[in-house]
């Protein structure tokens, strides 16, 4: 098994909010391997974006990573100084966000923004910058790239703006790409195109992609492995096929059970529906406890030990641990 590119170990993140402190992330553990598309799946509020921001060290000042490590290229990213981290950003790990038009500088032309990324990360003579940025724009599927390069962000559609951002990421040539819900707010048809593009870009560059999404359908199409997150904790991590066919964690089961399929005559099974409850941040054990139909006493007390079901498939659940014993 190849050495993982990114390893997150027992990551904990607290946010100070109006005199209170909340553990937005608690004991997060997962890996990203080289040259793969890894999905990070969860509902809103599960902490997916926070995890990505933690990797990039782009957290708001109120947030502190109080425990854990993020290992990348043999270094703990959390231990780096700000200027060292700045070297890492872009050239080794790059990230694109939701809301593509807002992510571009409104006063700079699209081509110039790509050129700036090129200038920072590639050793190109100045005369080549313009040509190369137009090439990149073409590469990400923007027709009439030369004209589009002169456009300002407000003149671009959402889909085009996201392509520009992907071009910027490409210019950086990172080993790890992170995409946080890159297609929210875009047309469904454009969504499909963008995902195609991201996959292409990733495999061509031989980079890894950490795809953050709430959409299980996208995960099944695009990702090779996936981690399931809830309330700031990782519940399960597996290859995509494994996860969909043999889900282990109670949360994953229900998540998948909620998907209705056109080709199956399946009645809506409400017998094992989950009660709605807000996230219990004070629970230092398994935070799904207040919604889990199989909850045990141990679930309120401590985090479950990881249980390996097969190569690459791990689940964090007291019930599964108990069953195995």
Partner 1 sequence: MPRLLSYLLRRIGLAVVTLAGVVVFVFLLTHILPSNPAALRAGPLADAALIQKYEREMGLDQPIYVQFFRYAQEFLSGNLGESWKTGQPVRQELGDRLPATLELAATAFLIALVVGLSLGVLAAVFAGSWIDQGVRLYATLGAAQALFWLALLMVHVFYYTLGWAPAPLDRLTIGVPEPPQVTGLFTVDSLLAGQFGTFLDALDHLWLPAMVLAFVVSAPIVKMTRGSMLDALNSDYIRTAKAIGVPRRSVVLRDGLRNAFIPILTMIGIVFGYLIAGNVVVEKVFSWAGIGQYAWNALTINDFNAVQGFVILIAVIYVGINLVIDLAYGFIDPRIRLG
CA dist., res. 309 & res. 295, Å (int): 20
91 binds partner 1 (CB under 8 A): yes
Write the binding mask 157 to 196 for partner 1: x where contact by CB under 8 A, - elsewhere: --------x--xx--x------------------------
HSE-CB of 136 using CA atoms within 13 angstroms = 28
User: Judged by CB under 8 A, does residue 319 bind partner 1?
Assistant: no
Per-residue binding letters, 16-55, with partner 1 (x by CB under 8 A)? ----------------------------------------
> For residue 131, which phi and psi values (nearest 5 degrees)?
-65, -45
* 3 state DSSP class of 131: helix
**Which of residues 84 and 196 has its CB atom nearest to partner 1 in the complex?**
84
12 binding partner 1? (CB under 8 A): no
CA atoms within 13 A of residue 99's CA, in its CB half-sphere: 3
Binding status of residue 102 toward partner 1 by CB under 8 A? yes
Residue the block writes with tokens 């040539």: 173
Say how far apart CA 312 and CA 248 lie, in whole Å.
13
Q: How many residues bind partner 1 (CB under 8 A)?
A: 31
β-bridge partners, 63? 15
Rg of the chain, C-alpha, whole Å:
21
Of 5, 8, 88, 145, which one interacts with partner 1 (CB under 8 A)?
A: 88
Assess 87 for contact with partner 1 (CB under 8 A): yes
* One residue of 19, 44, 74, 107 binding partner 1 per CB under 8 A: 107
Bin 74: left if φ > 0, else alpha if -120 < ψ < 50, else beta.
left
Could you list the residues that contact partner 1 (CB under 8 A)? 56, 58, 61, 86-91, 94-97, 99, 102-107, 116-117, 120-121, 152, 154-155, 165, 168-169, 172
């Amino acid at each position: 098994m190849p050495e993982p590119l990114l390893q997150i170990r027992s990551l904990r993140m607290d946010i100070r909010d109006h005199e209170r402190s909340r553990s937005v992330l608690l004991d997060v553990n997962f890996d990203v391997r080289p040259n793969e598309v890894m999905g990070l799946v969860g509902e809103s509020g599960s902490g997916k974006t926070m995890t990505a921001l933690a990797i990039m060290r782009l957290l708001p000042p109120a947030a502190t990573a109080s425990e854990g490590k993020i290992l990348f290229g043999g270094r703990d990213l959390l231990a780096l100084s700000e200027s060292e981290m700045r070297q890492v950003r872009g050239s080794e790990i790059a990230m694109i966000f939701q809301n593509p038009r807002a992510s571009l500088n409104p006063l700079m032309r699209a081509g110039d923004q790509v050129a700036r990324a090129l200038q920072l990360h590639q050793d190109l003579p100045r005369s080549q910058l313009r040509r190369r940025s137009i090439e990149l724009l073409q590469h990400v599927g923007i027709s009439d790239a030369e004209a589009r390069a002169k456009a300002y962000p407000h003149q671009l559609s959402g889909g085009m703006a996201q392509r520009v951002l992907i071009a910027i990421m490409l210019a950086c040539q990172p080993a790890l790409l992170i995409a946080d819900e890159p297609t929210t707010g875009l047309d469904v048809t454009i969504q499909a195109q963008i995902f195609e593009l991201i996959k292409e870009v990733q495999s061509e560059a031989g980079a890894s992609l950490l795809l953050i999404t709430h959409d299980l359908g996208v995960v099944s199409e695009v990702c090779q492995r996936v981690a399931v997150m809830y309330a700031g904790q990782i519940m399960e991590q597996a290859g995509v096929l494994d996860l969909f066919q043999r889900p282990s964690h109670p949360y994953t089961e229900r998540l998948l059970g909620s998907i209705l399929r056109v080709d199956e005559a399946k009645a809506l099974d409400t017998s094992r529906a989950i009660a709605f409850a807000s996230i219990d941040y004070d629970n230092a054990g398994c935070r799904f406890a207040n919604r889990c139909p199989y909850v045990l006493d141990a679930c309120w007390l401590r985090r479950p030990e990881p249980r390996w079901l097969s190569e690459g498939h791990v689940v964090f659940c007291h019930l599964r641990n108990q069953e195995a014993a």
